[in-house]
Amino acid sequence: MAISKRLLLLALLSLLISCAVGEKTKGVTYDARSMIVNGERELLFSGSIHYPRMPPEMWPDIIRKAKEGGLNVIETYVFWNIHEPVQGQFNFEGNYDLVRFIKEIGRQDLYATLRIGPYIEAEWNQGGFPYWLREVPNITFRSYNEPFIHHMKKYSEMIIELMKKEKLFAPQGGPIIMAQIENEYNNVQLAYRENGRKYIEWAAKMATSLYNGVPWIMCKQKDAPPEIINTCNGRHCADTFKGPNGPNKPSLWTENWTAQYRTFGDPPSQRAAEDIAFSVARFFAKNGTLTNYYMYYGGTNYGRTSSSFVTTRYYDEAPLDEFGLLREPKWSHLRDLHRALRLSRRALLWGTPSVQKINEDLEITVYEKPGTDCAAFLTNNHTANTAIIKFRGKEYFLPEKSVSILPDCKTVVYNTQTVVSQHNSRNFMTSEKAKNLKWEMYQEKVPTIADLPLKNRVPLELYTLTKDTSDYAWYSTSINFDRHDMPMRPDILPVLQIASMGHALSAYVNGEFIGFGHGTNIEKSFVFQKPISLKPGTNTITILAETVGFPNSGAYMEKRFAGPRGVTIQGLMAGTLDITQNNWGHKVGVFGEKEAIFTEEGSKKVQWTPVTGPTKGAVTWYKTYFNAPEGTNPLALKMDKMQKGMMWVNGKSIGRYWSSFLSPLGRPTQSEYHIPRAFLKPTNNLLVIFEETGGLPETIEIQTVNRDTICSIITEYHPPHVKSWERSGTDFASVVEDLKSGAHLNCPDNKIIEKVEFASYGNPDGACGNLVVGNCNSASSLRVVEEKCLGKNSCKIPIEREVYDEPSKDPCPNIFKTLAVQMKCGKRK
């Protein structure tokens, strides 16, 4: 009995000790070297994924792909204007369910960073601020201003309390290891003078007083208060970041831009996987321990959520494209980088760094813990020239602008410039089940001043008029002319001139559409001028003024304005007539929008007529029905022959389109628009388009989207795949028998390689989807590749010369050889 009691006491004591140890290590701290999560130093690879920019049905798959890409942290902003659109009324439903999103991150064993702002920028309407905040008396956004800091604290407290209640912070067992207050405030701080300094100090104290269980950060805040970690945003933080502003703060990179967001009228934005990898490797070589890819998945700006002129598609060039498909080689080249850095983890986190500058371009960085761990970064900063670098008795080849990572200070497992992983190309295919659409139309009535209830002597300011409830507002006035007022010559017409503060407008004279004008993201103001036909008697001038999102950046955002500010008629017999103060009628929104005719119920409120030929199209609604397209691939709506407007599927907005705003390349900035499959039913899906100025609805296509075109472009000097090595404690070794480079290809979604579309071993050129044979090519290239790959889900193709040609028959023995292949994946028969 005594022995049993002793055993019971020992067991209880052991349990108490283990609990105490567990409690002691739970939480997040940091020092100058790294973040320390639950007692463990961590290398953190993070990606920005915003929950409102996709339906919740997509969250698990997107987060899973991020994890498979080597991430261990997901970062998101919190969007005030969607959560409190009306003061005191909160919305955390559907794709606004922040708690569900954070829990999904935790369910997949990842950490989370919560950027509560509440100013977020993010190319989001009004930088995340709700419209009602703009109308609070005497408010100045982002300043030490009593009304602003009152509402900012109230909102911040609500979000923090929600996270605490759901036990989502790391010390509570949740995934959130870091939180951010404010956002890139140094960009505007000087505009607010002393109130800027006081505001940032207040924000830091307010945030840490609400919760101090995880570190708080401020990005691009070089003078961050002591209790806050200042972090870097940009493309090359290894070179631009001067480091944290305190001796015990780690070097963190909170926004590594994977490309750039686009505004309507922009050409495409690109950033090579090699450049991103180079910047990350250099940052970690310089004591960095966290990088966050902004964005890792950009998603879609549904409804009217994007800021001024920003496209509906957001950061499509991210490692996961708008449709959630892997953008190769960006996704896998970064995945391989994360693996290479993790193989170097012990040395990076516990070793002592040293730097050897060989010359202006070449340097060697070593992290070493004598007798146990060593990792090296060999860097060539020259943008054009390759180099040979000698390190510890061995020579290493370095391509231009590259970093080689040696996790054991001997073996190159990864070079940022040599992409071992596969490439792919995106394809848009017309759906067979959702084609031959039958369109019906309904045209809005162009109102006169008598139809518009809100009267004012001059045109009202547009932001204040709409209060962010619609992109549209009607303005109308009327004026009488005698026939002697109008030009007498038949070759001269009066000209209507409208000076607008932005963003766009359509003009009508006596109910007839006369033209469309707009500004740009850089210069939102513009002057509209069009010749018009007037008649003796009463003439009506009507304007449909339009916003394309509210501003999202800069100082004093609450003092921005839009809409018509001056209206004149030129070329009259008495000269120019200013009708700005002629008395105007106003109404927010268009009729179909107010009646929600984009929904099944609302569509019954108007009379639709079949579209049988070309239409005038201005302020016209179009509707059709379609069945869910075949397969499971993502879906897109091709809108390149329409002009400008909005789109809905089954009553859910899929955003703005603007095909008539061409980039300098002569093409729309965005032609295809994502339709989430989560929005669809198996049959009879309602598609409604509101076209502002006139388009060709018969050209609209519903498409399926895939990345079934896969490629590899690999040279003789590429290292073997980083998966060829593993580390166990201090042991570092290869896990394959034959350490050779080669092309590794894998079809997505368990598909098989059904066709080799291109194969060349020699000096081919181009990119995936556009490969070309050079002046050196092995005649056996296609045969070798087909033998290795046809009919398989994945394959490895050797790069050795003897596989392709006998030495005596080598067509070009004196050059470095490149293997380029392109294949088409398809479903298994």
Q: Which residues pair with 657 in a beta bridge?
A: 645
- The span from the CA of 770 to the CA of 591, in Å, is 47
**Number of DSSP helices (H) and strands (E) in the chain, helices first:** 14, 46
List the beta bridge partners of residue 107.
none
**Residue from 227, 83, 226, 98 nearest 154 by CA:** 83
Secondary structure (3-state) at 273: helix
- To the query of whether residue 157 is one of the catalytic residues in this protein, the response is no
Whole-angstrom distance, CA of residue 147 vs CA of residue 580: 35
Catalytic residue among 255, 317, 692, 701: 255
SS (H, E, C) 788-826: HHCCCCEEEEECCHHHCCCHHHCCCCCCCCEEEEEEEEE
Nearest C-alpha neighbor of 464 from the set 592, 591, 593, 560? 560
DSSP letters for 628-657: PPSSSS-EEEE-TT--EEEEEETTEEEEEE
**DSSP letter, residue 416:** T
Q: Which residues have CB under 8 Å from 674's CB, separation 6+? A: 300, 313, 322, 323, 634, 635, 636, 637, 654
Asked whether 573 and 485 are in contact (CB, 8 A), the reply is yes
The dihedral formed by the CA atoms of 249, 255, 256 and 259, expressed in degrees to the nearest 10: -170
Q: Give the C-alpha separation, 506 to 660, whole Å.
A: 13
Q: Which of the 8 DSSP states describes residue 666?
A: S
To the query of whether residue 184 is one of the catalytic residues in this protein, the response is: yes
Q: What distance in Å separates the CA atoms of residue 94 and residue 114, rounded to the nearest whole number? A: 19
Of the candidates 772, 716, 763, the residue with the CA atom closest to the CA atom of residue 741: 716
- Cα 175–Cα 176–Cα 180 angle in degrees, nearest 5: 160
Structure tokens at 495: 């000209």
Q: Rounded to 5 degrees, what are φ and ψ at 656? A: -85, 150
- Nearest CA to 776 out of 743, 813, 807 is that of 813
* Catalytic entry in 184, 274, 328, 546: 184
Q: For residue 591, what is the DSSP state?
A: H
Give CA angle at 732 (726, 734), nearest 5°.
55
518 beta partners: 504
Structure tokens at 141: 């956004």
Evaluate whether 340 touches 280 at the Cβ level (below 8 Å).
no
Report which secondary-structure segment, H or E, holds 475. strand 472-481
Residue 479 pairs with which residues in a beta bridge?
539
Give the pairing type, strands 111-117 and 176-181. parallel
Question: What is the C-alpha separation between 658 and 667, in angstroms, rounded?
Answer: 11
156-162 long-range contacts (CB < 8 A, ≥24 apart) are: 156/116, 156/118, 156/181, 156/206, 156/207, 156/210, 157/210, 158/90, 159/78, 159/83, 159/98, 159/114, 159/116, 160/116, 160/210, 160/211, 162/92, 162/98, 162/99
3-state secondary structure 393-434: CEEEEECCCEEEEECCCCCCCEECCCCCCCEEEEEEEECCCC
Q: Are strands 387-391 and 44-49 parallel, antiparallel or unpaired?
A: unpaired
The H or E element containing residue 706 is strand 701-715
Structure tokens belonging to residue 247: 């001796």
CA distance 654 to 673: 7
- Minimal CA–CA distance to 762: which of 809, 722, 823, 724? 809
What is the Cα–Cα distance from 326 to 707, expressed in whole angstroms? 8
Q: For Cα atoms 315, 265, 695, give the angle at the middle one, nearest 5 degrees.
A: 105
How many angstroms separate the first and last alpha carbons of the chain?
71
Q: Hey, which residues are catalytic here?
A: 184, 255
